Structures are given as C-alpha cells and as structure tokens.
Amino acid sequence: MFSWLGKQGGGRERGGGGDVVQTVTGGLRDLYLRKLLPLEEHYRFHEFHSPALEEADFENKPMVLLVGQYSTGKTTFIRYLLEQDFPGMRIGPEPTTDSFIAVMYGDSEGSIPGNALVVDPKKPFRKLSRFGNAFLNRFMCSQLPNQVLKSISIIDSPGILSGEKQRISRGYDFCQVLQWFAERVDRIILLFDAHKLDISDEFSEAIKSFRGQDDKIRVVLNKADQVDTQQLMRVYGALMWSLGKVIDTPEVLRVYIGSFWAHPLRNTENRRLFEAEAQDLFKDIQSLPQKAAVRKLNDLIKRARLAKVHAYIISYLKKEMPSVFGKENKKKELISRLPEIYIQLQREYHISAGDFPEVKKMQELLETCDFTKFHSLKPKLIEAVDNMLANKIASLMSLITQEESNMPTEIVQGGAFDGTMAGPFGHGYGEGAKEGADEEEWVVAKDKPAYDEIFYTLSPINGKISGISAKKEMVTSKLPNSVLGKIWKLSDCDGDGMLDDEEFALAKHLIKIKLDGYELPSTLPSHLVPPSHRKPYQTAE
C-alpha cells in the first residue's frame, strides 16, 4: 500500500524509529478529521449536503454502482462479471430487483439485511440509516467468495420505473439514496437496453442526482446483438440524443456497446465491435483499484470546496439577520434572494459558479432552518481548509504518483476478466500483427506470390530494390510518411537501406495490417521476421 512519510498526527511509528508512516488512506482520513470536519460541523454541512465521513469510507474497496430501467440487464451484468450467482439475485423480464444489493467479498456465501448492515463499522454504509426503515428493508449485502470481489464491490440498484405511482410507493427518496452512493463510488454505470431508450421521469431525476460526479459516469448500451448494424446506428444516435437532454455537460459520455451476458450472440455481424467494446469496459473497471487513492483524494477536494462555499453562504445569512424584530420576514427575503447572494459571494471570494450547490434545493432546505442559530464567519476554519488544499493535498498527490510508479499494477482479476487476458480468445489474438503467431509457416508467405509480381516490376539489382524504388510503391497506400517510415524501419531487417523480396513482402504485409485498422508493432515480432533473416536478425537483437 502507499505510504506517506511526515510528522503528521494520527500515524503509527515504524519499529523504534521516529518516522511516522501512514498509508494514503490514513493521510486522507487524518486531513479530513483535523482540517475539514471542524468546518463542516461548525456550519452544519451534514444537514444540508452529505453526512460526515467515517473510517470505512476511506478504507473500503472501489465500488461500482449500476443504474438503469428495469430489464436492461443490470443483475445479469453482475452475474456476467462474477461468473456465478449471488445471494438475492433475481433475473426476469419484469421488474425483479426491488432492492439495493451491495455485492461484496466474504469468506462464505450469505446475505446481511439492511438494518444489520448500517450498524457494522467495517462497512461504509452506516450513514444510510438516515433514510429509515422503508429503505433499509430494501437494502442488503450479498457476500460470496469470488476473485473479482477481492478488488471491487458492486452495487445493484432497483430497476427504474416510469409513472408517479411507482415513485411514491418506494417509501423513501430514491434519488437521494442514489446521490449518497454516487458520492462514494468509483464508477457509475448507466445501463440501457437497445429496445428501451426512453428515459422516464424518474430515470431523468436519477441521472440529475449525479450532478458533480460526471467523471465517474459510463454508459452501457446492452443487448446490442438483438439489432442489425443499420438499426444499431439509429439506436446509438437516439441514445446520445436522449442523454444530451438530461446530462448537462459539453463532453460526450463514453458509451460501451455490446451484449453483456454469457449467451450466444443473436446477431454476429458486429462481433468484432462488441469484443473491442467489452475489452475497453473491462480495462476501465480493472483500473479502479489502482486509481482508488486518486479518486478518494479527488472526492475530498470536491467536498472541501463545497464545504467552504457552504460556510460563506451560512455566515452571510447570519450576518444579514436582524438582532430583534422582523426575523421571519428577513428570512423569507434572504431565501428568495439566494441566487443574487450566490453571485455576490462569487465576486467577493472569487469562487467559480460551479462550486455552489443547486439554488432550488438549498432554498428548500433553508425553509426549515433558524437563521439566528447559524454561526458567523470564522476565518481560521477557512484558512485551515485552504492550507489543506494548497499544501497537504498537493504533497499527497505527488507521493501517490511516485508510489504508483514503484508498485506493481493492481487490477481486477477473476470471473469474466480472466477470459479476456490470454489464450486464443483474448482480445486481438490472431489479428493484425499477431496473425500467424502460433503457425509454423511464415504468415506473409500466402500473399508473397502477389507481392513478388510487384517486386520484380521495380527493377531489383542483385535481388534488392533501393529505398527510392520501394518508396514509389509504398506511397500508393496513401498512408502518411510517419507510418511508412515506421514500416520501412521494421521491414529493413538487415539495415542495409534496401529491401530484398522477403523484406518487400513484409513491408506490403505491414501496410495491409495498417490499412485494415490495426496498430503496427513497436518492434518486429519473431513470427514476422522473414525466414532468410531470422538467425542474423535474432542474433543482432
């Protein structure tokens, strides 16, 4: 694990020496408790925004939250990743998952109900108790000994429905629960069915509750094998249009297209696309453990910025309140003027508008507050947070980068992830420059007769053509000079500035690889080395 060396409190001494050694997690927790928490408590941040962080929030594994309308394949997606069933799993075309299920690692298979889960100090869910029994009765932890869950935890959410009736019948604030999870997870995956692209009112509200967490969101267009290529293009366009209406960002969200379950593809014409998309998604999920420390650091910075803004808002409202008469009228006036107050504070303290909480939500929360009990601005608390952001966080970030470079890469393993790692079914196996890697015959040989015909039209001397002659033929591919230069370097095996018939055939083969959309190798693989050049070439290596 990362270590943070410094004379900070909350650490533990190593051996008999005086150095204090802390994990990055311990360092973040220490900064939060000493610098940020006092500011949050003084200005009642937890009543307005997010509960106080606990030790489990810093120590927990990376979490992935799955959100989508019913029957889009959320639970099936989890089963696909784990390659086994988990307690509480129900799959069907109707709305089957009616609970939030935290799928986590455990030495034995079993489930923990919500009420017991929120009193476990080792789990990061204690603050969910504020949503009451209606939610806790619909919340559980599913534990099982699975290799994938040693690195990440997965949160399955209830299928989102349309209509006011279903929303009311939940008995708890669904969007508030999603927002709580969104602030703590490392990745939010929105699942869509190729046949269900409509975004219901509740789904729209759910997506909006992820405001400020846009960097965590990924989109999966599932069951894409059930449509042909032309229909898939239309479906993709319709999905991007729908998302553009509810996600207010200038950037285009990353959408992964595929069929994420262990069943034969119904339509195989896009198989290669699905494999590439699945590989990209797997890489994204596999990188989460390595990026966990940076994510927690980033979330703490976002929280600190919001806490500072909240302190300015609360202290301003306190300052504007009369000491004796007209308190209620003044309170109503200040609430109605909140948008103007935001602008005033932005100018006074040079704060970005994006750091301020949503006006409408803040106005609703302020309605029930007694402004006279708010505290005035305490510069020392603000200075402590500013010092944390300017100095402590920066040094911690540089240490994380340094430690990451010295540590072996930690990735998610097991389940479906192992099926894409190696062997003939690994992504890209037997394609592009890897074609012919497990064959005895030189892979270029099958096309060499055609390449030889071109070679002999270029007037070889002593069995070789000059660089100028080779260039005239190679530029007909219309590839840029930077690419052709790399192909020349890979093909001129003996480095004599000329190409014999095998080297020329190799050059044509590499051009074909590039034109087919594959990347060129940085060094020539042994199976591509021309037969007559193998011994001297490999000796030179």
**DSSP per-residue letters across 187-212:** EEEEEEETTB----HHHHHHHHTTTT
Number of helices and strands in the chain (H, E): 23, 13
Alpha helices in 287-391 (DSSP H): 288-320, 327-336, 338-349, 359-366, 379-387
Enter the DSSP assignment of 494.
T
- Find all residues with CB under 8 Å of 234, minimum gap 6, and list them: none
Instruction: Name the residue among 239, 205, 209, 210 with its Cα closest to residue 222.
Output: 239
SS3 for 293?
helix
Count Cα atoms within 13 angstroms, Cβ side, for 255: 22
What's the confidence (pLDDT) of residue 426?
A: 60
Query: What backbone torsions phi and psi does residue 463 show, to the nearest 5 degrees?
Result: 80, 10
Separation between Cα atoms, residue 139 and residue 174, nearest integer Å: 12
C-alpha to C-alpha distance for 308 and 266, rounded to whole angstroms: 54
Q: What is the DSSP string of 71-111?
A: TSSHHHHHHHHHTS--TT----SS----SEEEEEE-SS-EE
- By DSSP bridging, strand 187-193 and strand 217-222 are parallel
Report residue 108 CA to chain centroid gap.
Answer: 29
- The pLDDT value recorded for residue 404 is 65
Q: What pLDDT shows up at residue 350?
A: 93
Q: List the one residue out of 478, 476, 529, 530 whose CA is nearest residue 502.
A: 530
DSSP 219-233: EEEE-GGGS-HHHHH
Burial of 262 (0-12, 13-18, 19+ CB in 10 A): exposed
- Residue 418's φ and ψ, nearest 5 degrees, are -70, -25
pLDDT of residue 20: 27
Q: At what angle do helices 288-320 and 271-286 cross, to 10 degrees?
A: 60
- Is the entire prediction scored with pTM above 0.85? no
Pick the closest to residue 307 from 43, 116, 488, 541 (CA basis). 43
Structural domains in the chain, sorted by start: 24-52+294-406 (1.10.268.20), 63-287 (3.40.50.300), 432-533 (1.10.238.10)
* Cα–Cα separations (whole angstroms), residue 292 to 62, 106, 196, 285: 6, 20, 33, 11
Given a cut of 50, the residues of the chain with pLDDT beneath it are: 1-22, 165, 167, 536-541
pLDDT at residue 67, rounded to an integer: 94
What DSSP designation does 458 have? T
